[in-house]
Amino acid sequence: MSNTTLESVLDKVNSPDDVKNLSINELNRLADEMREHIMTKVNTTGGHFGPNLGIIEATIALHYVFNSPKDKFVFDVSHQCYPHKMLTGRKEGFTNPEKYHTFTGYTAPEESEHDLFKVGHTSTSVSLAVGVAKARDLKGESGNVIALIGDGSLSGGEAYEGLNNAAVLGSNMIVVVNDNEMSIAPNQGGYYKNLEELRKTNGKAECNLFKAMGFDYLYVEEGNNVEALISAFSKVKDSTHPVVVHIHTEKGHGCDTALANKEGFHWILPGTLDEKAETPSEQCESYTSITTDYILGKAKKDPKVFTISPATPGAYGYTEDFRNKLGKQYVDVGIAEEHAVAFASAAASCGAKPILHVLSSFIQRTYDQLSQDLCLNNSPATILISWGAISGADATHLQVFDIPMMSNIPNLVYLAPTNKEEYLAMLDWSVEQNSYPVAIRVPFGDVVSTGVEDKTDYSVLNKFKMIEKGSDVAIVALGNFFSLGQKVKQALESVTGIKATLINPCYITGIDEKMLEDLKSNHKVVITLEDGVIDGGFGEKITRFYGNSDMKVLNFGARKEFTDRVPLEELYERYHLREDLIVQDIKACL
Amino acid sequence: MSNTTLESVLDKVNSPDDVKNLSINELNRLADEMREHIMTKVNTTGGHFGPNLGIIEATIALHYVFNSPKDKFVFDVSHQCYPHKMLTGRKEGFTNPEKYHTFTGYTAPEESEHDLFKVGHTSTSVSLAVGVAKARDLKGESGNVIALIGDGSLSGGEAYEGLNNAAVLGSNMIVVVNDNEMSIAPNQGGYYKNLEELRKTNGKAECNLFKAMGFDYLYVEEGNNVEALISAFSKVKDSTHPVVVHIHTEKGHGCDTALANKEGFHWILPGTLDEKAETPSEQCESYTSITTDYILGKAKKDPKVFTISPATPGAYGYTEDFRNKLGKQYVDVGIAEEHAVAFASAAASCGAKPILHVLSSFIQRTYDQLSQDLCLNNSPATILISWGAISGADATHLQVFDIPMMSNIPNLVYLAPTNKEEYLAMLDWSVEQNSYPVAIRVPFGDVVSTGVEDKTDYSVLNKFKMIEKGSDVAIVALGNFFSLGQKVKQALESVTGIKATLINPCYITGIDEKMLEDLKSNHKVVITLEDGVIDGGFGEKITRFYGNSDMKVLNFGARKEFTDRVPLEELYERYHLREDLIVQDIKACL
């Protein structure tokens, strides 16, 4: 791994205190060793690559100058916390392959007193740090509060609100702006020109966003130079007022492959560095390719169609080629989901045909914009929600809350396609219609195709599809869980002989009262299946519909809880999301 | 009303075109006449006072220079749209007392082609305008897009995200910053010093937030001078790039009483100008006074206690005196609800005891902050939600969505007190405990007092209170609707003889499974009552609990819809929220 002719420096470092005793020469060697380990580990497990390589020197310098945990570091999104973990008692998670999966990829207070918050959504660090500093001041304590934030994260509104308040805190508050000239994808927005101007003038430009916001300001051009960083951080340590330290770092520093492809190496799959990563074959159809093919075709025919990504194009297969082909019909708004919804809403109101693509986890940023900017104005925008599904994800990136969050907002039509043809039909209907705000929960997983064009008229709202008419038991299987519904039907028949009714509801935001009413005549039990949290979700509306009747109703989905890297199979067992368990529950009801 | 010796100018103005034909002298007279009418009307009906008086001249100048509706004005929060309404065919709403209630107090596309959006929450105009401009550009159309935004609204993150994107639009985009040196209350935050510096230097200061964001910039010191404004707007008309016109206006311009008390005259009750408004007597106890008394007492005893208001202190009775008494234990974060939640969350994590006070309608801004910053970190902050209730409010200010929005987020404990003593006990428990994020839905309406201290241990989560044990029918009456539950019980007994069970659930975020299970033995029907939207709300969880049983369940609350100034009695009838209608529904179930 590291230079074998010299004693390892990292071996000697078990806590931040150990960092303080090292010489500059040793600190530099420490950085090299850490870099090697991070590269090897992330290339083995997958994870955030470029952001962590860029922040190694700054992390060493921070721990050298400040005294964590008395001084408190607040990381933003924590894509860049690996070096911090290595210096705070968790290096084995990076040096020992057997412990590669011991620690989360994000800051986690349960792991260490050096981590303050569980963080995985962007643009929160400054706001959180203001709270940390306020508590310190009210308790009459001392110590530095240091918020780290990337230039990419600074486009988010919460960061700005935090800066505006940090500036008037009236006590110690240090904001380290980690400017690696990149968001996940290239930065988008007006303020990036100011960052560029500041870099060009070595921080001397008179017009300075941070000064305009009320901060004192310090620039460090050599953001990957431990010595320069130590000097800068030492200057602001124990500051009695808010100060920004703007450090110019390099995303992927020390790894030529990552430097040559900063976007591709933001987060990598195992083996990417050796070009051994299993990337999906281009021939293989996926809901991603179905979406991008549709958008390219539609945009070519209609100049009013455009697509919007809030800084996560990679998640949707919006490659550089795709973006270039779309030209002005593609807009990356930066990490700014609130703006994205308002922007799409207004454009749709004015006759354009926006398609906004957001992950389930990040649409959480936009409740009020969905409600006020979009739905209250009944703007016919299209919103694609991807990755909406129960998963073994980290607690910060669960994708199970979109149904409760969105589907209780008036006017929204939220659709759950179950296969390729349905998805395309819904998507095209949504783009072409002018009556409703529409969201579509893009199917998750392998493509299911019927091979038959779906000619359903989706403007007849809340009309469920009766797939198979049976009796006694009806299975209402939403979106991703339609296939589970099919399995339940089969298993139920083989166990009990009951030929159940199978329904594809299509609509998340309304119920087909007529169909549900008709079921009463020869059904005793209705079950609902949804790939998300049950509480406040789809199934409960059906239960409410039958509240005054003799129909028994069972709702299946996820519990209201934050799960953290729990294997999917375990969650399915916990939630009874297996055909055998569901059949047992149905039998108990009959 | 207006000067009777001269012919009225307003009489001649029925559309923006009529404004264009007036001389400067006439435009000034028009401003005076409009001011008189707005003062008289708002002092009669109540409404937004200071913001509208400050923007009259700018509105006249905008309509003089630009050509609405080809050129498009996007108002922020639309507290300042009265002059615009007067110039766009709706002046009778201000001149004719019989039509005072004809038009909403906000922009409303259904009223006029000159209104683009229904808007009532702040900080959205720039984002929306970017969408308007994008649609224009994609459609190959021309025309100016003008976003108006106040200095107060500029503290909101959505405004910043919008500015960042407006700056790189690459085509015409004019942002008029209406700087009246006030939010609803005095402005809070670092960037206001930059606005001050720009005012002091007549816009010449090198360090300029708007330039740093990538805008061209123009300053107008005389923001209430029609001629100066016409000159400025003419300069930027048909700009091919994004430009900010920063106009220095006076909130309450032309009305000495309003100028002397800018916060008090932001929004007034009928008769305020004549000092005849019915203000609640100081002797009279209200949930507002109960809250402020509690906070003052608690803060005095414990320096770690502090309260946070996102720019709406008036709504909670946080008077200047109250704020002064609290000193550093009061923080107004400006219009920045996202920051407010993250800030409170972090402070609570670090041992302070924050009490964040937000209106139901505005907590909508913070879904992701509630989820990620607060609940995922299980931070023991206290959030007070006020005004949560079905009402005859404007569609933009409904306060009925907080239960579906908040109660499906894991870890949150959301409490619904039904009287003064319960409220105080819950509040004190919340402030003192360290285990959960807690929100309390502050009771709405007249104070109900039992006179007996509530000694319930609220750390035993989700324990409902059995108020009266009966049989056959159980009434689960949440928060504000506990009194409705009492009425239903009485009415049911008098109509059917049934002595119903009455339950005060206290907890919105969980159910008392044991108590609900016990009801099965001698009850046939359970009804739930909640003062908010049913969909995704409290009652559906109870219905789901009984889904596999013979219990009939009826959920009462508001429908999922945006209502717009519908009288409360009509809504109660529509939703069956009257004891006679509920008893009918119960009888149909028995």
Nearest to A476 by CA among A536, A414, A430, A540: A540
Contacts of A365 in chain B (CB under 8 A): 367-368
pLDDT at A576: 98
A contact test, residue of B544, B559, B561, B590 with most A CBs within 10 A: B544
Contacts of B365 in chain A (CB under 8 A): 367-368
Nearest to A506 by CA among A422, A578, A588, A416: A416
Cβ pair B346:A131 closer than 8 A: yes
Contacts of A553 in chain B (CB under 8 A): 544, 547-548
* Residues recorded for chain B: 590
pTM: 0.96
Task: Dump the DSSP string for B39-74.
Answer: HHHHHHH-EE-HHHHHTHHHHHHHHHHS-TTTSEEE
DSSP, collapsed to helix, strand or coil, labels residue B496 as: helix
Q: Pairing state of beta strands A501-504 and A465-468?
A: antiparallel
Cβ pair A130:B346 closer than 8 A: yes
| CB within 8 Å of A376: residues ≥ 6 apart | A410, A411, B118, B395, B396, B562
B269/B284 Cα distance (integer angstroms) = 18
Contacts of B367 in chain A (CB under 8 A): 364-368, 405
B463/A336 Cα distance (integer angstroms) = 40
Distance from the Cα of A4 to chain B's closest Cα (Å) equals 42
Contacts of B554 in chain A (CB under 8 A): 547-548
Distance from the Cα of A30 to chain B's closest Cα (Å) equals 32
Cβ pair A346:B372 closer than 8 A: no
B contact test, residue of A119, A368, A585 with most B CBs within 10 A: A368
Cβ pair B168:A190 closer than 8 A: yes
Cβ pair A328:B164 closer than 8 A: no
Distance from the Cα of B87 to chain A's closest Cα (Å) equals 23
Nearest to B474 by CA among B454, B492, B448: B492
Please state the three-class secondary structure of A481-538 as a single string: HHHHHHHHHHHHHHHHCCCCEEEECCECCCCCHHHHHHHCCCEEEEEEEEEEECCCCC
Cβ pair B155:A161 closer than 8 A: yes
DSSP, collapsed to helix, strand or coil, labels residue B260 as: helix
Nearest to B338 by CA among B382, B371, B300, B385: B371
Phi–psi pair at A473, nearest 5 degrees: -125, 135
Contacts of A351 in chain B (CB under 8 A): 135, 139
Contacts of A533 in chain B (CB under 8 A): 408
Cβ pair B346:A127 closer than 8 A: yes
pLDDT at B185: 78
- CB neighbour class for A68 (10 Å; exposed up to 12, middle 13-18, buried from 19): buried
Considering only CB atoms, B155 lies closest to which of A164, A404, A549, namely A164
Cβ pair A350:B161 closer than 8 A: no
Cβ pair B165:A338 closer than 8 A: no
Q: Give me the tens of pLDDT residue by residue for chain B, a chain 590 residues long.
A: 444 567 899 999 999 999 999 999 999 999 999 999 999 999 999 999 999 999 999 999 999 999 999 999 999 988 899 999 999 999 999 999 999 999 999 999 999 999 999 999 999 999 999 999 999 999 999 999 999 999 999 999 999 999 999 999 999 999 999 999 988 878 889 999 999 999 999 999 999 999 999 999 999 999 999 999 999 999 999 999 999 999 999 999 999 999 999 989 999 999 999 887 766 555 689 999 999 999 999 999 999 999 999 999 999 999 999 999 999 999 999 999 999 999 999 999 999 999 999 999 999 999 999 999 999 999 999 999 999 999 999 999 999 999 999 999 999 999 999 999 999 999 999 999 999 999 999 999 999 999 999 999 999 999 999 999 999 999 999 999 999 999 999 999 999 999 999 999 999 999 999 999 999 999 999 999 999 999 999 999 999 999 999 999 999 999 999 999 999 999 999 999 999 999 999 999 99
Cβ pair B158:A376 closer than 8 A: no
Contact by Cβ (8 Å): B342, B365 = no
Task: Dump the DSSP string for A203-255.
Answer: T--S--HHHHTT-EEEEES-TT-HHHHHHHHHHHTT-SSEEEEEEE--TTTT-
| CB within 8 Å of B509: residues ≥ 6 apart | B406, B407, B412, B413, B414, B462
Nearest to A33 by CA among A94, A99, A98, A106: A94
DSSP, collapsed to helix, strand or coil, labels residue A98 as: helix
Nearest CA in chain B to A553: B547
Residues of chain A with pLDDT under 70: 1-5, 278-283
| Orientation angle between helical segments A226-236 and A24-45, nearest 10 degrees | 110
B446/B449 Cα distance (integer angstroms) = 10
Contacts of B565 in chain A (CB under 8 A): none
Nearest to A405 by CA among A444, A369, A450: A369
B496/A84 Cα distance (integer angstroms) = 69
B contact test, residue of A123, A128, A399, A564 with most B CBs within 10 A: A128
Cβ pair A131:B535 closer than 8 A: no
Contacts of B69 in chain A (CB under 8 A): none
A contact test, residue of B75, B78, B128 with most A CBs within 10 A: B128
Task: Dump the DSSP string for B334-360.
Answer: -S-HHHHHHHHHHHHHTT-EEEEEEEH
- Reading the block at residue A319, the tokens are 């490659």
B contact test, residue of A188, A372, A516 with most B CBs within 10 A: A372
Contacts of B156 in chain A (CB under 8 A): 157, 161
pLDDT at B307: 98
Contacts of A116 in chain B (CB under 8 A): 346, 349-350
- Eight-class DSSP state of B103: S
Nearest CA in chain B to A394: B376
- Reading the block at residue A393, the tokens are 């994800």
Cβ pair B190:A211 closer than 8 A: no
Handedness of CA B112, B115, B118, B121 (dihedral sign): negative
Distance from the Cα of A57 to chain B's closest Cα (Å) equals 27
pLDDT at B182: 84
- Eight-class DSSP state of A418: -
Cβ pair B396:A376 closer than 8 A: yes
ipTM surpasses cut 0.85: yes
Considering only CB atoms, A165 lies closest to which of B336, B351, B562, namely B336
Contact by Cβ (8 Å): A387, B391 = no
Peptide bond before residue A69 is cis, with ω within 30 degrees of 0:
yes
Nearest CA in chain A to B537: A536
First to last CA, chain A: 63
Contacts of A368 in chain B (CB under 8 A): 121, 362, 364-367
- Eight-class DSSP state of A77: T
Nearest CA in chain B to A139: B304
Contacts of A189 in chain B (CB under 8 A): 164-165, 167-168, 214
pLDDT at A421: 98
Cβ pair B401:A407 closer than 8 A: no
Contacts of B542 in chain A (CB under 8 A): none
Phi–psi pair at A556, nearest 5 degrees: -115, 135
| Residue for token pair 């960061």 | A159
Handedness of CA A573, A578, A580, A583 (dihedral sign): positive
Nearest to B534 by CA among A438, A514, A544: A544
Contact by Cβ (8 Å): B572, A421 = no
Nearest CA in chain B to A560: B410
B contact test, residue of A160, A365, A529 with most B CBs within 10 A: A160
Phi–psi pair at A482, nearest 5 degrees: -60, -40
Nearest CA in chain A to B379: A117
Cβ pair A212:B215 closer than 8 A: no
